[in-house]
């Protein structure tokens, strides 16, 4: 399993970035894939996840952390084995290393496995 993130960078508050996660080494349309982030001195937290499992009852289901609802949008392209995270109205508190991972959720927090190497997002005030 390999997940490679790209698209991070430095942006001013209020700006936008789009992260990409290119997946390989597994059957992409059999898993949900999403995003986590870790800010300095803080624990890793789940940001968003999308279920793109072909034929699944949950196909198209998405998870968003409360802190990003209405600002971030997750999408996937099964033909390209890629998941995207469009981040708008960025805030300084969004500054973190963003990781792509296979993800799942039920009643609790988002969980993940098979982590990418991460991409840095820095939002200046």
pLDDT tens per residue across span 87-118:
999 999 999 999 999 999 988 899 999 999 99
62-76 pLDDT tens trace: 999 999 999 999 999
Tell me the DSSP string of the chain: -EEEEE--EEEETT--EEEEEEEESS-GGGSEEEEEEE-TTS--EEEEEEE--TT-TTTT-EEE-TTTTTTEEEEEETTTTEEEEEE-S--GGG-EEEEEEEEE-SSS--EEES----EEEEEE-
Residue 20's pLDDT band, with cuts at 50, 70 and 90, is very high
């Amino acid at each position: 399993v390999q997940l490679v993130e790209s698209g991070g960078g430095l942006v001013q508050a209020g700006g936008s970035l789009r992260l990409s996660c290119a997946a390989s080494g597994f059957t992409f349309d059999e898993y949900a894939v999403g995003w986590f982030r870790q800010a300095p001195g803080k624990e890793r937290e789940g940001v968003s996840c999308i279920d793109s499992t072909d034929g699944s009852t949950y196909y198209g289901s998405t998870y968003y952390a409360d802190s990003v609802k209405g600002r971030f949008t997750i999408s996937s392209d099964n033909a390209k084995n890629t998941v995207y995270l469009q981040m708008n109205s960025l805030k300084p508190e969004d500054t973190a290393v963003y990781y792509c991972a296979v993800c799942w959720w039920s009643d609790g927090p988002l969980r993940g496995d098979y982590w990418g190497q991460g991409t840095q997002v820095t939002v200046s005030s």
